[in-house]
């Protein structure tokens, strides 16, 4: 399974398909953090929301790199479960590189800061830690959405793009405060809202957000696996 994961990542990198989503992600980071210094927690919260569609795009591209015949041979060779996990791991690994860049770049550029004197904002260390959590949750959701939009499920480019764009837009719109159905989407917006509050909400809120993200991603990945049974 590890060898299959490495092979898929190698094909993704050598084919040059990494460039479009990677450049898009870096441009978004430049726009977000290029306007001056801001609270670390708030900056990372917005960054995680902005990168959610890019994480999904990356995951889809990784899973679509392998030709259909090669994917079917891999399922026969290592089994459906291991083949599915290998693809998911490859997509998560590719996305994690961008997530690390999203955490490190603002620190190197001096775009994030600690609390203002007398404010209730979290410390720089706490803001970075919560930023890591926000990007991990966004990455989980993005990988799940990208998998659901992959060619193995949607069959055509049109269907795949429709699922990807619709899922990304709904994930942000339905996540807005006051939405009638916030639990239908991952908590990327809910996490960002929690990070911009001063003082921060209690730790239990972030445990709840983490459980929400895991449950949502697990459900979507389970649907991905079920849909692939008769289509791969």
Dihedral sign from CA coordinates of 116, 117, 122, 128: positive
Domain span at 17:
2-228
Q: Which residues of the chain have pLDDT under 50?
A: none
Name the burial class of residue 108, with classes exposed (0-12), middle (13-18) and buried (19+) by CB atoms within 10 angstroms of its CB: exposed
Q: Which residues contact 175 (CB under 8 A, 6 or more apart)?
A: 182, 185, 186, 187, 188, 189, 190
pTM of the full predicted structure?
A: 0.91
- Mean confidence (pLDDT) of the chain: 86
Pairing of strands 38-39, 112-113: parallel
pLDDT digits (tens, 9 = 90+) for 20-51: 888 999 899 988 888 778 888 989 999 999 99
Q: Is 113 helix (H, G, I), strand (E, B) or coil?
A: strand
- Distance of alpha carbon 13 from alpha carbon 224, whole angstroms: 24
**Percent residues over pLDDT 90 in the chain:** 45
Domain count, the chain: 1
pLDDT digits (tens, 9 = 90+) for 207-230: 999 999 999 999 999 999 898 876
User: First and final CA of the chain: distance in angstroms?
Assistant: 18
> Residue 87 has what pLDDT?
82
> Residue 134 has what pLDDT?
96
> Residue 76 has what pLDDT?
62
């Amino acid at each position: 399974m590890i060898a299959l994961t490495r092979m898929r990542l190698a094909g993704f990198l050598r084919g040059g398909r990494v460039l479009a989503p990677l450049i898009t992600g870096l441009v978004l980071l430049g726009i977000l953090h290029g306007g001056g210094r801001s609270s670390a927690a708030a900056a990372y919260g917005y960054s995680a929301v902005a990168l959610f569609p890019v994480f999904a795009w990356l995951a889809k591209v990784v899973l679509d790199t392998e030709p259909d015949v090669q994917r079917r041979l891999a399922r026969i060779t290592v089994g459906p479960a291991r083949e599915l996990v290998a693809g998911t791991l490859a997509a998560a690994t590719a996305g994690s590189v961008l997530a690390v860049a999203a955490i490190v770049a603002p620190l190197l550029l001096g775009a994030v800061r600690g609390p203002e004197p007398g404010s209730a904002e979290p410390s720089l260390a706490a803001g970075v830690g919560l930023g890591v959590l926000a990007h991990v949750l966004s990455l989980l959701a993005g990988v799940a959405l990208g998998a659901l939009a992959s060619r193995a499920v949607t069959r055509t480019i049109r269907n795949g793009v429709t699922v990807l764009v619709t899922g990304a837009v709904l994930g942000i719109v339905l996540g807005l405060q006051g939405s009638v159905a916030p639990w239908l989407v991952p908590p990327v917006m809910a996490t960002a809202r929690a990070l911009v509050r001063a003082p921060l909400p209690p730790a239990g809120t972030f445990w709840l957000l983490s459980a929400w993200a895991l449950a949502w991603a697990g459900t979507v990945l389970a649907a991905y696996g079920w849909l692939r049974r008769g289509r791969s």
